Amino acid sequence: MSQASPTHDQTRVVIVGGGPIGLEVAATMQRAGVDYRVLEAKEVGHTMTWWAPQTKWFSSNERIAIAGMPLVTPDGSKASREQYLAYLRGVVSALDLDVRTFEPVADIQREEDGFVVHSQTRGGPRETRCDAVVLAIGGTDFPSKLGVPGDDLPHVDGYLREPHSYFGRRVLIVGGRNSAIEAALRCHHAGADVALSYRGDELPEKSIKYWLLPEIKGLIKSDRIAGHFGTEVKAITPTHVTLSSTDGDTDVEADVVLSLIGYRQDKRLLRRAGVDLIGDGERPSYDEATMETNVPGLYVAGTAIAGTQSSKYSVYLENCHDHAQKILEHLGSSPSRTERHRRGMSDGLRRQIAAQPES
């Protein structure tokens, strides 16, 4: 069977990624009268869909609100996963943003006067020509792997799932920062037998949400959660995990292993588009004043600017709100594809086109 011919589209700006900052860029473009499309591979706010139910944000509501739309919770507390996803849906609906969900972008090709963005719709491939591309793709696409024998076994997971599923099971959690601590507490309260393995000699208290720290310290001190500090995973089998420390090896029985040691960014689109990646986290090279990468007309926004943040996170949603305005201002100083075409035309042809509406 022959492959379907692609459909064609054209716009001024293609925004890749339908998370909070991608939507904020879209709202900024829309308010300025700049034609745009948002292409999202999954659903709006996909990163949060793999958070465990009722996970709460660390940040206050006003700091994670976007596009000038207030985020209000019934009791004024920090928004949960469910509340924030509902908020994002509300932003898209209220502003009537042009968001194409479940349309993954496979490639971005540079042309002399812009880009061709190749995406896949349910009906087949689509090619969208545009002047500029904004990559708001985030940086937590894949769980980091332990890199030890057995880390690909089916009971090893990089995500905390519905806590109810861990009831009555022995759960070993690897990690010591927010994700690991929250998982330990929620699994414990769901009736799991929880153990925690962390390579440090003690918990990194500055990296743990202040409302979680006293409880986890108390549960470890009382041995209601087993704390294995100064340990690293050496191997995983279907029945136990071997932890290595300066005192030797210890086998810990486990029905489930939650490896919550961080997440990695998907670099494929950045590389295909020709963006230079620098540093240990392979962060995209970009101009902080304009958000433009080394590829003219291609911008990055949101946590995508940090690449893979493998240790201490420094780029969050709340310190990325200025990216949209920077991109808009830089785009304003660049002529559109239509304007560039007109500049190269004869006066007579220019007058003919000027009498027609732009597509």
pLDDT digits over 288-341, tens only?
999 999 999 999 999 999 989 876 678 889 999 999 999 999 998 665 554 544
| Angle of CA points 235, 265, 332, to nearest 5° | 170
The single-letter code of the amino acid at 55 is: T
Strands 193-198 and 13-16: unpaired
pLDDT at 349 over 60: no
DSSP code for 292 = B
Q: Which amino acid is at 354?
A: A
Average pLDDT of the chain is 90
How far apart CA 310 and CA 319 sit, in angstroms, is 18
The whole-model pTM stands at 0.86
Helices assigned H by DSSP within the chain: 20-31, 46-49, 61-64, 81-95, 178-189, 213-221, 268-272, 323-332, 337-343, 347-354
Phi/psi at 92 (5° precision): -60, -45
Mean pLDDT, to the nearest integer, of 262-287? 94
Task: Encode 3-18 in three state secondary structure.
Answer: CCCCEEEECCEEEECC
Strands 283-284 and 170-174: unpaired
For range 39-60, the mean pLDDT: 91
Strands 114-121 and 124-130: antiparallel
Q: How many C-beta atoms surround the C-beta of residue 338 within 10 A? A: 15
What angle do helix axes 323-332 and 20-31 make, rounded to 10 degrees? 40
For tokens 């928004």, the residue is 79
As a whole number, mean pLDDT of residues 271-282 equals: 93
Q: pLDDT, tens digit, for every residue of 98-123?
A: 999 999 999 999 998 899 999 999 99
Radius of gyration of the chain (CA): 24
Checking if the pLDDT of 13 tops 50, the result is yes
Nearest in space to 338 (alpha carbons), one of 111, 10, 7, 8: 10
SS3 at position 175 = coil
Residues 56, 88, 42, 115, CA torsion sign: negative
Interval 235-257 mean pLDDT: 97
Q: How far out from the chain centre does Cα 266 lie? A: 10
Contacts of 218 (CB under 8 A, 6+ apart): none
